[in-house]
Chains A and B, each alone.
Chain A
């Protein structure tokens, strides 16, 4: 496809042509209307003046007979202008007037007629168009009163020519303008598709150019850029996950393999074999758990899952999960208090939200004990609250543990991230990532705050059902971050 055919195929160009055609048609109609009206008006005026003059001459004739008529006509013929007169006898001989040779056709006609007459001019005779009224007088005499309308014809010709030229220029400007506008838009579109192609080729950092005019193409580019940012973020997440998988899944796999290899090499007794096998199964189970958590997060982040959403009472769910963990807290000597005043109805997936709350409470119980020599002066306590305000349901889990230092809050959001202090506790570093993914799937967010001392995690979810966006980006707010489990 040549550049020109490509241009002609653009929507802009086709639109320009259509508009041009419509506009030309309208212009032709308008000009023609004006032209026609003008002609009609002029003809009527001409008829009226000629009629009036004839009437005057007829009165003269009645009053003074042919002689007076001849005299008056001869007189009037002297005044320069467009008026044409002729008084002739029945042979056609001119008695008076400025109209000389008359065609027999004119001579025989009666009433208003258009004809061509000759007039002496510079360097000869010129033929001009005239309009006249032929009047028969008794005795075969004729009186002809007319006007030279050559100028009028000239005017009409001028209007026609102007109109044609105008239309021609309009067409040229229209086509040219259409070409120019199309070229401009085509250039920008070509720019956009070129960028898109580079991005598709693998350079995800590329962004579509903006002209800065804020027009519709800019707005489209902005949306596409947002989409690209989201894709880049997802791809980065994917890369990060594969790196993490390499590390956090291969390490236990390696451990498992070493153990089995060792058991094969060393002469073990049955109990030792048994023990090795049991530990192998344990390790495998741990791997399966990590793997499942990773898959869940990946699915949630891709916007899948959560198809079993329905109306549910968040408060009841929080109470329920807190009750599930209550004996564990008691066993660990931590007071687990839940403050859930009234029902908070939201639209969500009970299993996913249950898991999110469970992860938060589990985290708080695992890492939320006051640490350091003799603790930090606070009694070990975990508080779970559910509250609703301004269309947002909030689940707040706070502890009195060491908390997460503000600069670390950004980091612990990632998968597999575990703070050094928590390495001694079992966990995969995926718990909070999963909570964040669940929050995002429900159109909500996850925030880490300072509980002075301790950590306060706030899971905020929109309460309106239609506020739920499946898999749509909600950028994690600055400082919103997660702690490992």
Chain B
């Protein structure tokens, strides 16, 4: 009996190990936030000798950062829209009863995120070159839409599978046609999943670097700007400020997506 209780109540060591794991995951993010305010501009000296807001002002006045930011936001918006349309269509088809070749198609839908990004990136570059296209804005969007589609698909298909078929039957029995059933029964149910999928896709695209480095040509998204700074660190404090901005821009959609799909919301009617 005593030993079974010990499984129920975690020992102090177990609690500490779990807490240490969480701290390990979060500490680096806080470090970056702290460094954005440091007065030291040449080394990574810790603890920072002093704190200042000066670098935010400097970064704010930089046209190259704004330009990269605008490009990233545009790419993420267009890629997310394309992903929402394509991913939702796919989810509606795949949530229905089995058909021939369904397994293969499921595999195809997870492949873009199952294979390492470098393979997707190099493949897209090889594809772009083989059809004689010039890498640029639209090739970045095409690459992002490909893996964002998978995110939207996963979110929507998971929600669709949780809608009891009886709801659709009830709607049809009460005389609604297919469009009315979709509009009044299915759409309200999947709306939050769709929004959450869109948010995740947006955050993923805004932050993507591995595929983008292959498909961007001479375009500079914010992650590419950041990547270049990593290798030619000219103004470290400004890089730190941009890092904080990137964290904020990606974190807000992620948190929103979490609240839209948190467990007590997932089961319809529950």
A, B assembled together: no
Interface residues of B (CB under 8 A from A): none
Interface residues of A (CB under 8 A from B): none
